[in-house]
């Protein structure tokens, strides 16, 4: 039901949610939100301003015109993707710039030793620890679409989360989020049965984990339907199609490796809540977290430049789900 929110200056109702005097269902919100002075629960993570009241969530897709110092965004990267004698990326240097690490779980990349070493590095850098499950396709680096039933997808995602979580616990950390990899990510973004399977696996393992997914995707819808906290992801180093999907890596220009261009795109997505696709008009995105691919040429420089550029623009760079300090357990 439409009603004007007394705490939000802008917006239209999009979903039912309750709020009582700064508490969400009587409990202070944890992830993807912050309490603002006055009544109501105000979320200023990502490009949209939210305020929850009884009867609806209000949001605006109009450009942010307030103080940029109140804006926050997560910076994530896919890491731990080396395997045996093969080294991919420069994880230790990359982890000094990002706030969330999506760690390969041994199917598309990674192995037990690489997984453990990456977890240790992430904890040392106080980076949030996430599972990065993919299809069992080492040769194709998990970027080839495989034919798998929803039940098989659910099981392979659950298996990989469990494997990484065991290592995380052994190292005194805490798993905070899950982000599918490559073809699995793309299929879950487009196909609701695949998205449902991923969301079920995450919920079955730990319903408190945050599910990362492409802004506007079926995966985010499935996560919300399962009662999970979701984080809407955008890509500063990739170009978009007009339908909101990423341009295929096989297309020339799909990956952006110019630092200045990446920083400009990221700030624009956070500040305006829009992105301009190839040959199209700008469309709305929600940027809770920004991805920099670890295997993008110059990824270390991209991540460092991106963090510096966001902070110079007054945008705070913080993890969606904060990692526990080393030595603490769940």
Please state, in angstroms and rounded to a whole number, the distance separating the CA atoms of residues 238 and 296.
10
Check residue 322 and give its pLDDT: 60
Q: Which of 37, 62, 87 is the last residue of a domain?
A: 62
- In total, how many domains does the chain have? 2
What ranges in the chain are assigned the alpha helix state H? 91-94, 112-124, 150-170, 182-190, 192-205, 218-225, 259-272, 299-312
Q: Which among 44, 62, 80 is the end of a domain?
A: 62
Q: With cut-offs at 50, 70 and 90, classify the pLDDT of residue 140.
A: very high
82 located within any domain: yes
pLDDT (0 to 100) of residue 120: 98
CA distance 306 to 292: 9
pLDDT, tens digit (0-9, with 9 covering 90-100), for 287-321: 999 998 887 778 899 999 999 999 999 999 999 87
Residue 61 has a pLDDT of: 32
Within a domain: residue 323? no
**Distance between CA atoms of 276 and 314, rounded to whole angstroms?**
23
CB atoms under 10 Å from CB of 170, counted, come to 11
Same domain, 27 and 127: no
* Average pLDDT, integer, range 236-244: 88
| Mean pLDDT of the region 245-256 | 87
Domain span including residue 6: 1-62
Q: Could you report the per-residue pLDDT of 271-293, keeping only the tens digit for each?
A: 999 998 988 888 899 999 999 88
Alpha-carbon span 49 to 277, nearest angstrom:
23
Give domain status of residue 324, yes or no: no
Using 50, 70 and 90 to split pLDDT, how confident is the model at 146?
A: very high
Are 109 and 253 in the same domain?
Answer: yes
pLDDT of residue 195: 98
- Dist CA 76 CA 291 (whole Å): 5
Domain-terminating residue out of 16, 31, 62: 62
Nearest-CA neighbor of 225 among 199, 202, 201, 207?
199
Q: Band the pLDDT of 70: cuts 50, 70, 90.
A: low
Average pLDDT of span 113-133: 97
């Amino acid at each position: 039901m439409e009603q004007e929110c007394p705490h939000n200056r802008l917006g239209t109702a999009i979903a039912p949610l309750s709020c009582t005097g700064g508490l969400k269902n009587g409990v202070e919100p944890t992830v993807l939100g912050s309490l603002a002075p006055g009544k109501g629960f105000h979320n200023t993570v990502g490009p949209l301003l939210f305020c929850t009241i009884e009867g609806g969530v209000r949001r605006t897709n109009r450009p942010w015109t307030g103080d940029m110092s109140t804006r926050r965004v997560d910076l994530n990267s896919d890491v731990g993707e080396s395997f045996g004698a093969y080294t991919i990326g420069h994880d230790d240097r990359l982890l000094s710039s990002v706030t969330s690490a999506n760690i390969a779980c041994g199917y598309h990349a990674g192995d037990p030793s690489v997984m453990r070493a990456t977890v240790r590095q992430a904890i040392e850098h106080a980076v949030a620890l996430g599972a990065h499950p993919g299809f069992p396709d080492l040769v194709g680096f998990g970027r080839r679409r495989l034919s798998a039933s929803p039940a098989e997808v659910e099981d392979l995602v659950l298996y990989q989360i469990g494997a990484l979580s065991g290592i995380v616990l052994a190292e005194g950390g805490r798993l905070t989020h899950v982000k599918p990899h490559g073809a699995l990510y793309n299929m879950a973004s487009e196909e609701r049965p695949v998205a449902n399977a991923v969301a079920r696996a995450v919920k079955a393992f730990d319903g408190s984990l945050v599910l990362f997914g492409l802004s506007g995707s079926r995966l985010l819808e499935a996560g919300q339907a399962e009662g999970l906290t979701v984080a809407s992801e955008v890509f500063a180093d990739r170009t978009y199609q007009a339908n909101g999907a990423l341009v295929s890596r096989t297309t020339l220009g799909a990956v952006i490796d110019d630092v200045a261009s990446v920083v400009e795109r990221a700030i624009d997505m956070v500040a305006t809540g829009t992105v301009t696709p190839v040959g199209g008009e700008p469309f709305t995105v929600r940027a809770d977290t920004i991805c920099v691919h670890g295997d993008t040429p110059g990824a270390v420089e991209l991540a460092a430049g991106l963090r510096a550029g966001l902070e110079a623009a007054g945008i705070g760079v913080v993890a969606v789900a904060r990692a526990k300090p080393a030595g603490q357990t769940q």
